Amino acid sequence: HYEVIDGQQRLTTVVLTMCAIRDVMKANQQLLDDTQKKYLNAISEWLFNFDMTAGKTQLRLELQHEESKTFLSTLIEEKSYKGDVSGSITKMRGAYERIKKELDGYLAKGVPTLTEFAVYFLTKIDLVVIESENLSGALKIFETINQRGAGLNAMDLVKNLLFSQASTEDFSKIKGKWKELTAHLKTAREDDMSH
C-alpha cells in the first residue's frame, strides 16, 4: 500500500480510463476474439483483486474522501452508485463519460482500433514511483518537483505547508478541516487561489 502525495488526479484518470475500456469491451464482448478477451481480463485484474484471506475485494486505488472513494469503488466493481452527488463525483462521472465516448469513437472504426488504443494505453504509459522514507521527505520531494514544473497554486502550497508542519496523528483531523475550508471557499467562489 502506498499513500500518494502527488499524482492522485493522474492515477484517478488512469483508473477511470481502464474502467471505460473494460466497460466498452464488455458491452461488445460478442465482437472480441480470444486475445481481446484476454486483454479485457487483464484490465479487470489490474483494477482490483479478491483477497481470499480477508474475504473481500481489494481495489488497486482508493481515494481519501469517502464519497469519492465510494463512487470510484462502485465504478471499479461495476455496481450502481447510490450516494450523494458532490462536485468531485460529478467531475469523475463526467470524465468517465467523456473517455467512454472517445472509446466508442474508436470502436466505431472497429474492435482492432479500440484494442490498439487499449494496448497502447496499458503498455506504453510509464508510471514513475518515488518512494520516501517518511512523510516530511515526501512533502519535500513534492514541493521540489512542483517548483520546477508548472508551479502550484496557492491552495496546494498552503495545504503542503499545513501537512508538512503537522504530526502524523493529526492528519485525519486536518483532512476534515481542509475539506470543510475548501467547501466554504468553493461556495463563496474563492477556491481559485492561483492569482
Terminus-to-terminus CA distance in the chain, angstroms? Answer: 36
pLDDT higher than threshold 50 for residue 177: yes
Q: What is the pLDDT of residue 194?
A: 46
DSSP for 71-110 reads HHHHHHTT----S---HHHHHHHHHHHHHHHHHHHHHHT-
Residues 89-147 have pLDDT tens digits of: 889 999 999 999 999 999 999 999 999 999 999 899 888 777 877 777 777 776 666 66
- Read off the pLDDT band of 60 (50, 70, 90): confident
Is-contact 18 46, C-beta < 8 A? yes
Q: What is the pLDDT of residue 120?
A: 93
Is-contact 154 118, C-beta < 8 A? no
Beta bridge partners, 49, equal 58
**For residue 43, with 0-12 CB atoms within 10 Å meaning exposed, 13-18 middle and 19 or more buried, which class applies?**
buried
Q: What is the pLDDT of residue 119?
A: 92
Q: Which of 31, 62, 94, 80 is nearest to 40 (CA)?
A: 31
Q: Give residue for cell 484490465.
A: 43
- Read off the pLDDT band of 8 (50, 70, 90): confident
**Element housing 160 (H / E):** helix 154-165
Q: Give residue for cell 467547501.
A: 183
Residues in the chain, total: 195
Q: Would you call 127 helix, strand, or coil by DSSP?
A: coil
Q: What is the pLDDT of residue 195?
A: 42
Residues 12-27 have pLDDT tens digits of: 899 999 999 999 999 9
